[in-house]
């Protein structure tokens, strides 16, 4: 073994390296001393060091995808190395998956200068990695991000981003800095909540050893797409009351949240909508009326009400049966909706054959004209059932001093007048 010289050993090492780079991070530049053919089209002879770090740590493959602008602010910190650093990178070159070993060696005599080595670990490593990935996913794999936080030192360590690697990232940043940078990845409406819960004093006050606190919010992933996540802070189990160390984790709950929201929407619809006609039910349209009155008190935008009654509906039920009556109700709502859909009008079934509309932006004169237009449309509409349909309509303004009872009694009186005046007419 003594027969091998340093030069011979260096030659063997050099031949087995796919990429050898010299970096000057202070000048944001690098130079490739060596590049194998397969890497030459992904790594230029020279270029921006920041761009190189983005490519190496986030997406060194055939795509032109870039890390979202929100996360660009983290790149300079990820490119600072005060000691030797090693990690594996999963990449795709020409449609073939590779596992690349990355080694970083700071040049001690020059602050911010590094030697970076890359070499392909071969297909056996890829197969081994595929076997690991094909195993049954555990709950830990739902965690996109994790790190340790020491509030006394204002530091983070053991940072891991699952989207990038199973290995910890080299990242030298204060917790106070990280917190103010990552907040930009949080959905704007959730940022205040995030800053409250992640505040060091809040964590010290609210978390005892071994306890956790969590919030659900939307957060950008590396591609800049908002997904639902659970942010979890857990205080480590320590014996000292002044030992404020925490584990911070980001759990991907996007699919489960979407399923939950869809279920909630279904229940909301069941609770708010009339089962037969699909429009608001009595309780929901009454709530709409209450909201309209409150809204009117805050601004001067007019609100008026319409109430429809299908003429001689009891006679339809008695003559043709309730099944035909149900079809008449659905056909009537369909006709009315087609005329109202271009306006800011909320319609609900008050009960039986009576329907109430809360009409935003309408004074009574304008609404009376629309009501007459609707009445004529219904009367002249070819019947989708065996029974021709006409309706009586009451119209009334909503006043700032009104209660729900006041507004409805006035509206009910207008409808009563329309029915007493021979039906198939509008009464103000």
For residue 233, what are its two tokens?
């802070």
In the sheet that holds 85-93, the strands lie side by side as 46-47, 29-35, 19-24, 113-120, 96-106, 85-93
Radius of gyration of the chain (CA): 34
Residue with tokens 């089209």: 41
| Annotated catalytic residue 205 | no
Residue 420 DSSP label: H
For strand 96-106 and strand 85-93, is the pairing parallel, antiparallel, or unpaired?
antiparallel
Residue 230, Cβ neighbours under 10 Å: how many? 18
Question: What is the rounded CA–CA span in Å between residue 384 and residue 338?
Answer: 14
Cα–Cα distances in Å, from 106 out to 16, 33, 45, 110?
21, 16, 20, 8
Query: Which of 88, 83, 100, 81 has the alpha carbon at shortest distance from 39?
Result: 100
Question: What is the rounded CA–CA span in Å between residue 145 and residue 193?
Answer: 19
Q: At what angle do helices 322-340 and 313-320 cross, to 10 degrees?
A: 140
HEC sequence for 203-241: HHHHCCCCCEEEEEEEEECCCCCEEEEEEEEEECCCCCC
Angle at 345 between CA 339 and CA 348, to 5 degrees: 95
For residue 266, what are its two tokens?
């279904």
Which of 8, 205, 327, 353 is the catalytic position? Answer: 353
For residue 279, what are its two tokens?
């429009």
Helix (H) or strand (E) holding 53: helix 49-58
Active site residues: 353
């Amino acid at each position: 073994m003594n027969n091998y010289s340093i030069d011979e050993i260096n030659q063997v090492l050099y031949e087995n390296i796919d990429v050898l780079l010299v970096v000057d991070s202070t000048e944001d530049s690098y130079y490739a001393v060596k590049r194998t053919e397969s890497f030459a089209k992904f790594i230029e002879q020279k270029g921006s060091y920041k761009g190189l770090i983005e490519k190496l740590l986030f997406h060194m493959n055939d795509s032109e995808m870039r890390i979202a602008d929100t996360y660009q602010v983290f790149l300079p910190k990820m490119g600072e190395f005060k000691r030797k650093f090693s990690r594996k990178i999963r990449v795709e070159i020409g449609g073939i998956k590779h596992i690349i070993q990355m080694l970083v060696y700071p040049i001690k005599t020059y602050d911010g200068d590094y030697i970076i080595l890359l070499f392909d670990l071969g297909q056996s490593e890829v197969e081994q990695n595929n076997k690991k990935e094909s195993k049954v996913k555990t709950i830990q794999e739902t965690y996109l991000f994790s790190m340790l936080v020491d509030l006394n030192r204002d530091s983070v360590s053991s940072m891991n981003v699952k989207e990038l690697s199973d290995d910890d990232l080299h990242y030298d940043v204060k917790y106070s800095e990280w917190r103010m940078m990552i907040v930009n990845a949080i959905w704007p409406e959730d940022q205040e909540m995030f800053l409250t819960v992640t505040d060091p004093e809040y964590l010290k006050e609210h978390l005892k050893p071994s306890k956790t606190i969590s919030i659900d919010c939307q957060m950008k992933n590396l591609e800049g797409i908002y997904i639902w996540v659970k942010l979890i802070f857990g205080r480590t189990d320590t014996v000292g009351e002044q030992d404020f160390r925490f584990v911070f984790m980001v759990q991907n709950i996007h699919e489960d949240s979407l399923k939950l929201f869809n279920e909630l929407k279904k229940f909301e619809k069941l609770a708010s909508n009339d089962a037969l006609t699909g429009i608001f039910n009595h309780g929901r349209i009454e709530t709409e009326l209450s909201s309209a009155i409150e809204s009117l008190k805050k601004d001067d935008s007019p609100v008026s009400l319409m109430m429809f009654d299908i003429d001689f509906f009891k006679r339809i039920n008695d003559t043709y049966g309730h099944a035909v009556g149900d079809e008449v109700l659905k056909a009537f709502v369909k006709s009315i909706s087609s005329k109202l859909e271009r306006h800011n009008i909320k319609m609900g079934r008050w009960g039986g054959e009576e329907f109430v509309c809360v009409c935003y932006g309408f004074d009574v004169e304008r609404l009376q004209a629309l009501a007459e237009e609707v009445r004529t449309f219904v009367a002249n509409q070819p019947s989708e059932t065996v029974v021709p349909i006409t309706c009586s309509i009451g119209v009334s303004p909503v006043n700032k001093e009104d209660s729900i009872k006041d507004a409805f009694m006035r509206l009910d009186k207008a409808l009563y007048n329309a029915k007493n005046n021979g039906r198939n007419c509008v009464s103000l």
